[in-house]
Structure formats: structure tokens, C-alpha cells
Structure 1
Amino acid sequence: MKKANATLFFNFNLLGWTLALALSLSANNVTTAQCVMICNDLVQISLDDDCQVEILPDMILEGNACPNGVFQVQAKINGAWVPGSGNFVATSAHINLTLEIRVKDLVSGNICWGYAHFEDKLPPVLDCNDIFLNCAITNYTPAYILDVLNVSDAYPSVDENCTSTTLTYIDTWFDLGCSGTINGFSDISAYVIRKWTAVDQSGNSATCNQYIYFERRHGVDVIFPPDVTVDCTDPNASPSITGAPYVVDFGLHFDVWPNGTYCELNGTYQDLKLVICDGTYKILRTWTIYDWCLPTGPQNPLTHIQIIKVLD
């Protein structure tokens, strides 16, 4: 009996390609199987100085089970996962919101889900500048200082990263004697420490102290009222009508009489009435200004006669 001879032919190129593909698929399956992603159930994330934050994979993932992964972080907004590419960026629109977040490995296709709560934890930044006023100014509200005196530093500057702020203040008053000093400044009659507080919409707050110094004025700074003429039909010679001694600052007159200012100046007057004829007379009003912080001498007290004519 003859034995049949059989010859086997192998296509080694085809065999090699098939083997390589099988090994590749096996490796990918192993990688996919080994890449087990776990997302944190809930993370707290704070926005930065620019009121935004890019959500990075390591903020959401527990550990790094996919060392060769290429990740994308998305958030579910109105039922849609955004963004289409790149990572989700939270802004002020997401403050105090809890969003569903997913991390996707673009290599293996694995996905895990979790939640992120977004907060603004950065307080406002306040910058207070001190203010110098003369001691005859009795209204020192921020609105008056800004709108009437045109002092731009009336309010502190506020730098807030995300939301609007509410400003409030509390004043503490301090009186100084003639030789008193504060923060290296002398000749100060009094000062106020104005504590400003700014609170943003997330409840973060910051404070700063503003000093308002009331600079002392002396008798030589006082300007006496001019002579005036008053109609006898309304012969009101009150200093509120005919004028009182004052000092000038910020282009405005600030009376030092009556003695309701913070200056150590005492102002008084005495009237002498001289009748000229029926219905016509003069008032010689002698003003006296005494400076409590200077010794008595030729220039202290100061006197001035104001002539008030009342004509028929």
C-alpha cells in the first residue's frame, strides 16, 4: 500500500498579522478590565480668584486606576452633558449648586459618576484710606464726605471675586486733649475709627479700619463775618442771618459758633445797640474767639466788631 503524501503550506505573513491582532485585542481587554474608575460620591469645590474653576479628573476620581487614561470631565446641565470637549468649567452661575459630574476615559471608554457642590469661599478684599477733616466739620457721614466735600476716599475700595457686596460701618469716637497725639499726628482735636465690613452674597466677610482725623483749628484760622445791612421790616439780627465766625476748608464755610464743633475754640458775642433815628439803628456786635489750646496773649482771645445796620 502506498502512503499518501500530504504537504502543508503556511502563509506566515497572514499568521503573524492574525497573532498580533489577537494579542492586541487581548491586551486592550486586559487594560479595559484593569481600568476600574471610581468617582467620589460628593466633593466640595471652591471657585478661584477669577470666580471660576476647571474641574480636573483628580478632583472627582478616587485614586488613579487608569494611569494611561485620557480623561474628560463633564457636568449634567439641563439634561445634557457639557462640554462636548475639554473639561467642565464652573462659574458664578453655579455657586451653591450641586451638579452631577462624570469622568470619562477616552481610551478605555470607562465612565464613573459623582456629584460636586460649588462654593465661593473667598472673602472680599477691602482697602481703607484715612481722611483728614477740620474740627469744625460736624457731618462726617460717608455720603457727605463724598458728595459734598468731594473726598474720593470716603468709601473703601472693595475687590470681590464673584458677587456683589453689602457695605456697613460702625464709628467709635475719641476726643483728644490739646497735647494729644494719634498715630504720630499732633494738633488733632478728635478722631473716629470707622470699622467697615463687606459681606458678599455667599456670606464671606472682611473688615478694615478707616481713621477720620479732625485737625485742630486756631484763632488765627478764624474768619469773622462782614458788616451787613438789615431791612427794618424784618429786623432779624441773629448770627444765623447776619453771619458767624467760620473757617474755610474744601471751598466751604464751617461756622465755629455756636460752640457745637469739635474744635477747642470758644466763640461768644455781645451786642451794643446805637439808635440813629426812628426805625434806624446800628448794632455793634463784638465777637470773641478764645483758643483753649494756646496761652492767653495778644492774639488769644481774638476780638472783632461786626456792624449790623438796621435801616427804615
Structure 2
Amino acid sequence: QVHLSLGPDGATRVTPGMLLDGDHPSFEGFVVEVLDPTGKSLGDVVDCSHLGDTLVFRVTEPCTHNSCWGYLLPEDKLGPQFDCPADSLFVNCDVDALALPPPPVQDNCDPQPLVLPLGDTTITDDICDGVLVIRWWKAIDNLGNSSTCEQRIFITPTDYFDFPEDTAWTCSQYAAHPNITDPTPLTGDLQTTGSGKPVGVSGLYCNFNFSIHDDTIPACGNTFTIVRTWSAFNWCTGEVVTTDPDGDDSEQLIKIRDLTAPKLIRPPFSVSADTKGNLPVLCRSHGLLLPPEVSDACGKVTVRIFTPNGEAEYVNGQDGLAGGYIPAPGLRIGTHTVVYRAVDACGNVFELPVPVTVVDDEEPIPVCDAITDLNLGTEGLAELPAQVLD
């Protein structure tokens, strides 16, 4: 019975010298064949797929055809191998060294060996000279073989940072998420984002402190602009920095804008004819044009109503928020297009054409003369036209 250790690549070629006892001047000419438990020939190569199996080997001398056989037990005694660098990994001060992944590791037979942290230490004698973080790792394969690695990370102070760029938001975004103007990082998520902060120096061991001063300038409606001035202090050099290495100054503009027109809802409706007509002139209406439903995310809205005869006469004396009356000479019976126009405080306009139908919904009322004289003809008959009675 022979124990066979697999190599770093997970496979081992079985040679006669591994299997034969005694002194042999040369193993040249001997042929090795390995059989799996089902009797299938594996040639002379054994790999990780045969771990745990008891294999049979046969060694044959071709000239005499003499052979011997025995049992072969494959074993994996190698631990996972770290790609453990001898030199320190240099990172900028805004990198969280303890969040970095472990060095790469691979194993000859286990595609996913377990990697565990064993501990870490941080040497911070003077962070202006840099900070050394040492981390220890252990890797264990599925057979319990293990190895360790010491990872050294050197955090360097920096002179580079980037003041935040100007940003713009809509007033509806600001109304739902007022946090978007905070001096915090841009995250891409309205729930958590701010309008940005200097990039490259936000780490625990960075050598900059920052402060801000905000001036808010009102604009149209509920919109405004924040003029945010950043101050950067390098406490390793004692310098106050007002321009970043890219040449950007420390002033940031944060705009809350209204780019969306207001919305109007006004379904078609009818008005009654309220001015009598004399044929061939039909009846007309000076009736009430119903007010629309108005919505806008950013403040006050003015509504105007235009008919084919001109602008309506408004109920509130100012605009069409409460509706208005059809101007003279009124609209004839039939369907007409009335335009509702909404303008918000920032000049965004929305127009809604609404069909308005003037209807004659009053039945005629006959008025008869109380006394009518009627003369009979020679035949005792007379004709009585309707207009004689009306």
C-alpha cells in the first residue's frame, strides 16, 4: 500500500520509483497503470477527483511481462497558497484599509478555500508620515490544510482632493427629499444623497479638515440657489486651501429649479343659453366657465381662460382659479373650444383646450290671448292660425 501526495496543481504522475521496492539501477522500461475502484484505467496520472478512493496500481516490465500490483491512496497535504506580497500595499488616505479584501488565495484541490481574519494592528506614530496597518489571514481548505499570510497596508497622506461640482435639483425632488442639499456625498439615491463633498480626503487618517458657509438666494416660486463656500485646512502643513489641484475654486452652486409646467384638469362641460335670440339670430350664453383643478410642485399658479370671444370675466376679479364668465357678445348654441392656460411663478406654461357646449335647455312657453274675436264666413266656417292666439 502506497500513500501518494498530490502536487500543487492537483495532480501527480505516478512513477515506478514511487511503487517498487529494492534497488534498481534504472526504472526505464517499467510501465505504470492505475485503476479506479471500478477497474477503469487512469493511466499513470492521479488527481484530486480520486481523493478518498483506494486505487489499484500495476507495474509491468515489458520485456518479460512480469508485473506486480498494490494499493494506492491519494492524499492532499498541501495547504492553500496565498499570493502574499512581501512589500506593503500603498493606498490613499480615503481608503478604509480594514475593508480591503484579503490577498488572493488558491488551493490545489479546493476551488473555494475558507479565508479567515486572524487580527490586525495599526501603527499611527505620526499620520503626517503615514499609517501602517498590518493584517493577518488564515486560509483553510476542505481537508483542513491551512496556511497564513501577513498583509501590510501603508496609508499615505495626500495633497490631492477635489472640491464638489455644482449641482442642480428640481423643487419636487427637494420637497420630497430635503437632504439632497446636505454637504454629504452624492450617492445616486434620493433617499441618502447630498450635494457632494470634497473627494479623496474623507478617510479616518486624512490630513484635511473642511468647513462650509452657505448663502441662500431666493428665486422664482419656491426655488432658490445655495452658494456654498468650502474651506479646506491641511493640518500637516497648516495651510488653508481654497483651490483644489485641478484648479477648481471652493465655491459650489446648488440650484433648486422649477423646470416642469403646472398641470390642469378640466373635463368638457355644458353651459345654458341665457340670452334670448330673435330669428335668424340664435340664443347665446354668458354663463360660468367652470374652474379647473390645478397642481404644481413649486408654488403659485395663475390661470387664464380664453374663449373665441376673448378672455373670460373672472369670478375673483384676478384670474381663472375660481372660473369666469363668457364675455360679450356671448357664445352661440353649439360646441366651442375654450383654452385654459396655467403659468407658474417661474414662467412654465401649460395649455388645455376644453370643449364647451352651449345648449338651449329651456322649453318654449306658449302665451295665448285671453279673448279672440273670430268671424264665421258665409259657409259657417272660419280659419284660426296659431299666431292669432300667441
TM-score in terms of structure 1 length: 0.55
Which of the pair has more CA radius of gyration?
2
Pair 116,287 (structure 1): closer, same or farther in 2 beyond 3 Å: same
Match of 2:166 among 226, 248, 251: 226
The structure that is helix-richer by fraction is 1
Measured after TM superposition, the shift of residue 306 of structure 1 is 4.0
Hey, what does 2:124 align to over in structure 1? 176
Hey, what does 2:94 align to over in structure 1? 136
Mean Cα displacement is larger for which, 204-213 or 116-125? 204-213
| CA deviation string 1:75-129 (max 9, x = no partner) | 443454847xxx7432333223222334455566665443221112233433245
Per the alignment, in what secondary structure is the counterpart of residue 3 of structure 2?
Answer: strand
Q: Given residue 205 of structure 1, which amino acid in structure 2 is its aligned partner? A: S
Per the alignment, in what secondary structure is the counterpart of residue 239 of structure 1?
Answer: coil
**Aligned residues: CA RMSD:** 4.6
Whether 2:50 is the aligned partner of 1:94: answer: yes
CA distance in 1, matches of 2:28, 2:225: 101
Mapping of 1:201-280 within 5 angstroms?
201-218=142-159, 221-226=161-166, 231=171, 234=174, 236=178, 237-240=181-184, 243-247=195-199, 254=200, 256=202, 261-273=204-216, 279=222
Per the alignment, in what secondary structure is the counterpart of residue 246 of structure 1?
Answer: coil
Determine if contact 2:6/2:77 at 8 Å carries over to the other structure.
yes
Whether 2:74 is the aligned partner of 1:118: answer: yes
CA distance in 2, matches of 1:229, 1:177: 44
Determine if contact 1:224/1:246 at 8 Å carries over to the other structure.
yes
Pair 214,54 (structure 1): closer, same or farther in 2 beyond 3 Å: closer
CA distance in 2, matches of 1:66, 1:306: 85
Q: Given residue 43 of structure 1, which amino acid in structure 2 is its aligned partner? A: V
Measured after TM superposition, the shift of residue 192 of structure 1 is 3.6
Measured after TM superposition, the shift of residue 223 of structure 1 is 1.6
Pair 46,138 (structure 1): closer, same or farther in 2 beyond 3 Å: closer
Hey, what does 1:53 align to over in structure 2? 12
CA distance in 2, matches of 1:203, 1:233: 55
Q: Given residue 45 of structure 1, which amino acid in structure 2 is its aligned partner? A: L
Per the alignment, in what secondary structure is the counterpart of residue 243 of structure 1?
Answer: coil
CA distance in 1, matches of 2:72, 2:173: 81
Q: Given residue 267 of structure 1, which amino acid in structure 2 is its aligned partner? A: F
Mean Cα displacement is larger for which, 273-282 or 204-213? 273-282
Measured after TM superposition, the shift of residue 222 of structure 1 is 4.2
Measured after TM superposition, the shift of residue 55 of structure 1 is 3.4
Pair 286,78 (structure 1): closer, same or farther in 2 beyond 3 Å: closer
| Structure 2: segments with no counterpart, 5+ residues | 185-192, 258-298, 300-390
Pair 110,136 (structure 1): closer, same or farther in 2 beyond 3 Å: closer
CA distance in 1, matches of 2:256, 2:25: 101
Determine if contact 1:230/1:310 at 8 Å carries over to the other structure.
yes
Whether 2:247 is the aligned partner of 1:288: answer: no
Mapping of 1:176-195 within 5 angstroms?
176-178=124-126, 186=129, 188=130, 190-195=131-136
| Greater RCO (CA < 8 Å, at least 6 residues apart) | 1
CA distance in 1, matches of 2:28, 2:125: 74
| CA deviation string 1:17-44 (max 9, x = no partner) | xxxxxxxxxxxxxxxxxxxxxxxxx221
Q: Given residue 226 of structure 1, which amino acid in structure 2 is its aligned partner? A: D
Pair 140,107 (structure 1): closer, same or farther in 2 beyond 3 Å: same
| Structure 1: segments with no counterpart, 5+ residues | 1-41, 143-153, 181-185, 248-253
CA distance in 1, matches of 2:16, 2:139: 35
TM-score in terms of structure 2 length: 0.46
Measured after TM superposition, the shift of residue 285 of structure 1 is 3.5
Per the alignment, in what secondary structure is the counterpart of residue 149 of structure 2?
Answer: strand
CA distance in 1, matches of 2:26, 2:98: 64
Mean Cα displacement is larger for which, 237-246 or 106-115? 106-115
Hey, what does 1:13 align to over in structure 2? none
Hey, what does 1:164 align to over in structure 2? 111
| CA deviation string 1:182-219 (max 9, x = no partner) | xxxx4x3x44434444444443333333333333234x
Measured after TM superposition, the shift of residue 166 of structure 1 is 1.9
> Size of the alignment, in residue pairs?
239
CA distance in 2, matches of 1:70, 1:305: 84
CA distance in 1, matches of 2:172, 2:67: 97
Determine if contact 2:218/2:224 at 8 Å carries over to the other structure.
yes
CA distance in 2, matches of 1:169, 1:195: 9
Measured after TM superposition, the shift of residue 132 of structure 1 is 3.5
Determine if contact 2:115/2:137 at 8 Å carries over to the other structure.
yes
